[in-house]
Chain A
Amino acid sequence: MTPLPTAEIQLASLLLPPSVIGDLRFIGALALVTLVPAWLDWRLRRGGKSSNTSSH
């Protein structure tokens, strides 16, 4: 027996076609894995610069 879709999926399906939901899920996963480490690297280097500046 096929399990019933959750309320969230039913609601999303009313608002967006399934193909668009799939596209958004894939692009969101790509964006997440691209932006999170890039942002952490930027924070790390910016934090290092400000701590170097404040120590002098």
Chain B
Amino acid sequence: MYVGHVGVALGAKRSVPGVALLWLIVAAYLPDWTDAALCISGKYRDTGMLSHSLPAGALLMLLAAAVALLATGDRFAAAVVAAVVVSHLPLDYVSGLKPTWPGGPAIGLQIYTRPVVDFATEAIVIAAGWVLYTRSLPAGLRRWNESHVMLAALLGMQLAADVARLLYPSINKC
């Protein structure tokens, strides 16, 4: 999943208004940031075992929860951050084909192969998260057009990603 993960971060913002949205988004993409680090170090493998498998997800979840607990001193905030990190895996099992555990099967619905279906699915996740996010805003801000700009920007980025996937279906992460 691409922009759909932002939807999870937006939804979580309602539960932990004290945690900056930036850190919730970083948490939502932690397995992908791990892949980015692996790309740079030259250790990236298409299987995603080191970033997107269940053991890797559990490790990243514990790491993020520990950092959040140290930074905020709030156990609930740490639990929400942990949940945001772990949400990455089920969403990617919907969109792609991801590993389970070493020696285990790779599973997933692979809707990436159908960009229209992928866009519709990610748009639902984005919109649901955005609705929760707007409810977290103070009453005076809810009417402000900027929150709608965010929804439009997120859907626009997702549309661009799906069009790119249509044009270049064999494009890899790195």
Contact = CB atoms under 8 A, between A and B. Distances in A.
A47 B144 contact: yes
A5 B116 CA distance: 27
A26 B108 CA distance: 21
Q: Report whether over half of chain A's contact residues are helix, strand or loop; otherwise say mixed.
A: helix
Among A19, A29, A34, A48, find the residue whose CB has the most chain B CB atoms closer than 10 A. A34
Contact of A38 (B20, B39, B141, B149): B20
B63 interface: no
A34 B140 contact: no
A44 B153 CA distance: 14
A56 B32 CA distance: 45
A30 to B, nearest CB: 6
Contacts of B141: 44-45, 47-48
A19 to B, nearest CB: 7
Contact of A33 (B3, B20, B35, B36): B3
Chain B interface residue number, banded: 35 or more
B172 interface: yes
Contacts of A48: 137-138, 140-141, 144
B147 interface: yes
A43 B36 CA distance: 28
A55 B6 CA distance: 32
A32 interface: yes
Contacts of B26: 34
Given A34-B29, A37-B150, A26 B36 contact: yes
Given A19-B174, A23-B39, A44-B146, A38 B140 contact: no
Given A30-B29, A48-B138, A41 B173 contact: no
Given A30-B36, A33-B5, A47-B146, 8 more contacts: A22-B172, A23-B174, A26-B35, A29-B2, A29-B161, A30-B32, A37-B6, A45-B141
Interface of B: 2-3, 5-6, 9-10, 13, 20-22, 25-26, 29, 32-33, 35-36, 39-40, 137-138, 140-141, 144, 146-147, 149-150, 153-154, 157, 161, 172-174
